[in-house]
Amino acid sequence: MERLASFSSDPFDKPPCRGCSSYLTEPYVKCAECGPPPFLLCLQCFTRGFEYKKHQSDHTYEIMTSDFPVLDPNWTAQEEMSLLEAVMDCGFGNWQDVANQMCTKSKEECEKHYMKHFINNPLFASTLLKLRQAEDAQHHETAIPFHSADDPPRPTFDSLLSRDMAGYMPARADFVEEFDNYAEWDLRDIDFVEDDSDILHALKIAVVDIYHSRLKERQRRKKIIRDHGLINLRKFQILERRYPKEVQELYETMRRFARILGPLEHDKFIESHALEFELRREIKRLQEYRAAGITNFCSARTYEHLKKSRDEERLKRTMLSEVLQYIQDSSACQQWLSRQADIDSGLTPTVPVPSTTGRRSAPPLNLTGLPGTEKLNEKEKELCQMVRLVPGAYLEYKAALVNECNKQGGLRLAQARALIKIDVNKTRKIYDFLIREGYITKA
């Protein structure tokens, strides 16, 4: 069964053969059972019985060709399409050029066939009339009725709205104070008279040119402000805060290039980086799920819930460790309570200034009854007593340092301090103890 090929005469407009990847020339074969996309083969691959994935050589097929008449027995469908393309390229009435482009018909044949079947054909005429009526009806339905514009706001001078709009007057499209507001003062005393010397006349012309350049700069700045919506700065800042902190920093850095890109391109640039940031954060979250062995989102929700619970429990243990460190010193305890109150109220905690009079060292920590003590050996118990660290926190810090050492093949003191956020002196004692006992190795 023959079908009209849905491609132009240019072989490069057709998709390649699925067998040999060569450009298809008519006639060629289309599998009637495979697709979409259509599975097309040249005649050589079809005769060889080419098979690929689900396509089998015994599938039903269609012969794709344009070599059959449509409107005239002496004109094939391919010649009809070539005629229409030639008329579009050369223009109506240039029949010699149309015939030269077609190569298969003369000038008289092209003109006669086109006038008979495409101009004076009553079938096409009625079809065009219906299309025009449908277009007029659609235009009538979609026409936008005229409505008078609302009166622009007219804020009074030095009012809150006027200050928010930087003194912009919408009714006049001007500012109360323009850029280079006193540029006109240089022209107020200039007067061109006939007895001016050539040098004086040239100086006056130069002053006018300078004033003209200032006006151009004033208009350029006003256009940037209007195009980028910078008149209402407060509204602009509210829109800027909807981005994450990292994107806001990029927004602040790239703001100076907004006048070069234009408003639409600048917004597209920022939105694309905001989308990239969200995608990277989502990819990182999915990678964390994969590393934890999670394969579905139901398990991911459970993982997030348990992770939140672990973080809260870790925070409680850290607070308990700090309380146990300061509980035997009333002054240090008061300072710790004051610092926690500042944190809870959203203030920056004040760092206490150490006393210059000297203070006796705190006694060793009593580990009796503390959870995790039974998991420590004698040397570890001695370390926890000396550095005044509860066993649960020590075991957690030890596990973190050992895991990082196994990953990196060694561990430096700076890395240990970055992992466990406690007093640097305590971190050093724990680090030295673990190296001395062979739990970790120095990088």
Give residue-wise pLDDT tens across range 325-358.
655 556 666 666 677 666 666 555 554 444 444 4
**What pLDDT was estimated at residue 4?**
44
Contacts of 319 (CB under 8 A, 6+ apart): 340
178-196 pLDDT, tens digit per residue, is 778 888 887 878 888 888 8
**Region of poorest pLDDT, from 14-18, 398-402, 404-408:** 14-18
Please tell me the distance from the alpha carbon of residue 59 to that of residue 74, in angstroms, as a whole number.
Answer: 34
Contacts of 77 (CB under 8 A, 6+ apart): 4, 66, 67, 68, 69, 70
**What pLDDT was estimated at residue 238?**
73
Please tell me the distance from the alpha carbon of residue 75 to that of residue 28, in angstroms, as a whole number.
Answer: 20
| Tokens representing residue 331 in the block | 């002054």
- Is-cis flag, bond preceding 36, omega within 30? yes
Contact of 96 with 106, CB cutoff 8 Å: no
Amino acid identity for residue 37 in this structure:
P
Residue 3 has pLDDT above 60, yes or no: no
Residue 8 has pLDDT above 60, yes or no: no
The percentage of residues in the chain with a pLDDT greater than 90, rounded to a whole number, is 0
Q: How many residues does the chain have?
A: 443
The model's pTM is: 0.32
Contacts of 6 (CB under 8 A, 6+ apart): none
Contact of 79 with 117, CB cutoff 8 Å: no
Contact of 74 with 105, CB cutoff 8 Å: no
Residue 366 has pLDDT above 60, yes or no: yes
Of 403, 409, 336, 324, the closest CA to residue 368 belongs to 324
Q: Quick one: average pLDDT of 263-282?
A: 84
Contacts of 212 (CB under 8 A, 6+ apart): none
Contact of 23 with 16, CB cutoff 8 Å: yes
Residue 291 has pLDDT above 80, yes or no: yes
| Tokens representing residue 441 in the block | 């190795």
- Is-cis flag, bond preceding 37, omega within 30? yes
Please tell me the distance from the alpha carbon of residue 240 to that of residue 253, in angstroms, as a whole number.
Answer: 13
Please tell me the distance from the alpha carbon of residue 111 to that of residue 99, in angstroms, as a whole number.
Answer: 9
| DSSP code for 246 | H
What distances in angstroms separate CA 8 from CA 16, 20, 22, 202, one per listed residue?
14, 21, 16, 65
155, with CB counted inside 10 A (0-12, 13-18, 19+), is middle
Summary mean pLDDT of the chain: 76
- Reduced to 3 states, what is the DSSP secondary structure of residue 147? coil
Number of Cβ within 10 Å of residue 41's Cβ equals 23
Please tell me the distance from the alpha carbon of residue 295 to that of residue 426, in angstroms, as a whole number.
Answer: 40
| Tokens representing residue 284 in the block | 């990182």
| DSSP code for 175 | E
Of 418, 379, 382, 422, the closest CA to residue 401 belongs to 418
The percentage of residues in the chain with a pLDDT greater than 70, rounded to a whole number, is 74
